[in-house]
Amino acid sequence: MTAVPCYRCKTWHFLKCVKAIVLWFVSGLDQNHGGEYAAYRTVIETFIAALRSCDITPYVVLDGGSAHFKAQTAVERATDRIHRKHQASQSGEQSSILPKLAQVVFIQTLARLQVPVAQCIAEADQEIAALASEWCCPVLSNDSDFFVFDLPAGFLPISHFLWREVRQSGSQSSISCWSYCTSSFCSFFGLRRQLLPTFAALAGNDYVKLRRIDWTRFIQAGTGTEACSRLEGLLCWLKGLQESREPLEVLEEALGLMGDLSGDKQELLQNLRLGMEEYQLGRSTSDLQQEHETAPRLTGSHLQVDRGLNCEYPPSANQTSRPLRQVMYGLLLGKDKFSPVEFDRAGLSLISVPVEPTFTRTSQRLRLDSLPQVALSDRLNVLLEALGVTQESLRLLPPELQLPAAVSCYWLQTAQPPPDLQRALLLGMSNMLRSRTGNCSWNPDQDVSHVFSQWQACLKDAIRLNQLLDLPLPEPDVSRLYQGTLVHQLVHRMRSGGKLKTVLRSDRPSEELYRSLLSVVQRIRVQRIRSRTRRTRQKAATRWQQNPQELSADLQRLFLQDEETESEARAAVAAQEELQLQEELLQVQTRYRTKERSNRSKNPELARKEECRGRDLL
């Protein structure tokens, strides 16, 4: 590896999304309160600004799904994330846990900054390496796989890319970094370059772990770590092979060191061959070459596993938004007899869950191939039907808040959060919370975290459904909707009776926006409660007609549910009436102040006398 103190280029520059999100971790942002998205947006903006100040044009390539033969590695990593999240929820320590909407904020920020973004269907490594070779430009990432690709302009490890320390020399700007190239590595260890992919496959990657081979026996006893000694031993073994050996022959000889493999040899050899081919640029051009001038259309990211929460192991937050994903599956798969499988959390275990595609009243007559030509009204109906709201109920809100408000209404019905949480959430969405820097010094309430995690899961999948339908509603700026530490602090103070002055900001536009959001959510909630009450009564009446002689236990439960629903409806109606009264009072005060200002402007002498009387009273 060579240190390059002043790296500057005017060529294309690559990032992988999952690696760029390392920006979250290296920036010290809070990880345990659900996301500091405004601060994260600022970090991304600063990073891109640093690149552009050095005439570096970034081109971002996002990962897709993993190959099926990497399934075991994916399961292991997902399980590890579940346990790390659970441990963090108990101790409050930072455990490299990425908030649910971080990737959405990353993509939205890049789009706003007009940074080209490409989405790969599968893993992006080969596409990035092929395009870097075609354009003769470096790759910036923290993925160790790029140490193996033979890249003409080298690989820049992001851990040694000092983008926060842009150097200025006259009119020239530069960033200190390390540049790595495979030729230097092979020369140092005496390894033939064509065997470098073979070395990577045998060293142990996502395809097969050759733990039964003791590579350290090929070197003299040293003081290095076990991992370094194993890799050094493998390099010594490869160096000692005859130069006439082809890569596939080397793989077969390596398997011979494992002894009798019985029927597993061919499967292991095939997996090793696949692993080796991952690092070879066999085709002459990249599939992304045609998108040189403009970024490929972003098709959305794959599902992520929800992590563990507290010692009682509540259900996965992803369950709350599963009905939204079922509507997406219906649009994507049609009415074929095929059920997708999701990976999710049950307790602290990773499980696979078959999920049936579903259809709304409108989506059942739509086809994916003709979806772009469908009328806007129909595409909007699919989205609103999935969320259980009407266009009329959202019309008083700014366009950019209609989708978050609809999601909040959906969340209230599916997650059933305590009422104070909905108010805290809406205060944050309406810009009523004072911005501040720094992390919370106290651990988050785990139940509160779970409820807000459900809301984020709903928003994330609603944004995906909205994208699939070609944006019938404007996509909201997620970085402005939720600031985890502030919302948690607000909930804590509301529940403990503490003062809210230091948390809430008071300005007329934000107050009015908050009241509008609360009014919409309360109104839809009342409508849904009354609709549920009618359905309960109809169901009870039908069963009573079928069996008038006997009031069954099931029917008694229905009447009990009816009473609970009615009580909930009365409480919601009371809250709505109180809100309407506050709105009317605010309108009266506004009219009075407007009239008072008008009178003052018409009679300055009267205004001066009133002011003097005021000073006398003081």
Judged by average pLDDT, the poorest of 221-225, 380-384, 474-478, 608-612 is: 608-612
Which residues have a Cβ under 8 Å from the Cβ of 218 and sit 6 or more positions away? Answer: 233, 234, 236, 237, 240
User: Could you tell me if residue 148 is inside a domain?
Assistant: yes
The residue out of 180, 212, 229 marking a domain boundary is 180
- Would you state the pLDDT for residue 297? 34
The residue out of 467, 485, 506 marking a domain boundary is 506
502-513 per-residue burial string, b: 16 or more CB within 10 A, e: under 16: ebbeeeeebbeb
User: Could you tell me if residue 586 is inside a domain?
Assistant: yes
pTM for the predicted model, two decimal places: 0.79
For residues 338 and 458, membership in a common domain is answered with yes
For residues 144 and 254, membership in a common domain is answered with no
User: Could you tell me if residue 474 is inside a domain?
Assistant: yes
For residues 522 and 441, membership in a common domain is answered with no
For residues 490 and 525, membership in a common domain is answered with no
Judged by average pLDDT, the poorest of 254-258, 353-357, 573-577 is: 573-577
| Residue 585 token pair | 């009072």
For residues 431 and 546, membership in a common domain is answered with no
Q: Are 133 and 279 in contact (CB under 8 A)?
A: no
User: Could you tell me if residue 364 is inside a domain?
Assistant: yes
The residue out of 146, 180, 214 marking a domain boundary is 180
Q: Are 369 and 484 in contact (CB under 8 A)?
A: no
User: Could you tell me if residue 71 is inside a domain?
Assistant: yes
Judged by average pLDDT, the poorest of 106-115, 282-291, 459-468, 519-528 is: 282-291
Report the Cα–Cα distance between both ends of the chain, in Å, rounded.
74
For residues 331 and 243, membership in a common domain is answered with no
User: Could you tell me if residue 58 is inside a domain?
Assistant: yes
User: Could you tell me if residue 299 is inside a domain?
Assistant: no
Distance CA 222, CA 209 (A): 24
Q: Please report how many Cα atoms fall inside a 13 Å half-sphere around the Cα of residue 301, on the Cβ side.
A: 23
Q: Is the pLDDT of residue 92 over 70?
A: no
Strand runs labelled E in 11-158 = 12-16, 57-62, 117-119, 139-141, 155-157
Distance CA 518, CA 516 (A): 5
For residues 426 and 548, membership in a common domain is answered with no
Number of structural domains (the chain) is 4
User: Could you tell me if residue 314 is inside a domain?
Assistant: yes
Strand runs labelled E in 139-192 = 139-141, 155-157, 167-169, 172-179
User: Parallel, antiparallel, or unpaired for β 57-62 and 12-16?
Assistant: parallel
Distance CA 147, CA 182 (A): 7
Domain that holds residue 610: 517-617
Mean pLDDT to the nearest integer, 82-102: 69
- Would you state the pLDDT for residue 387? 96
Residue carrying the six token digits 């996965």? 316
**CATH code of the domain in which 156 resides:** 3.40.50.1010
For residues 31 and 163, membership in a common domain is answered with yes
For residues 419 and 496, membership in a common domain is answered with yes
For residues 571 and 591, membership in a common domain is answered with yes
As a whole number, the mean pLDDT across the chain is 76
The predicted-structure confidence for 301-343, as pLDDT tens digits, reads as follows 363 334 333 345 677 888 899 999 999 999 999 887 778 888 7
Q: Are 374 and 383 in contact (CB under 8 A)?
A: no
For residues 543 and 489, membership in a common domain is answered with no
For residues 122 and 41, membership in a common domain is answered with yes
Greater confidence (618 vs 288) lies with 288
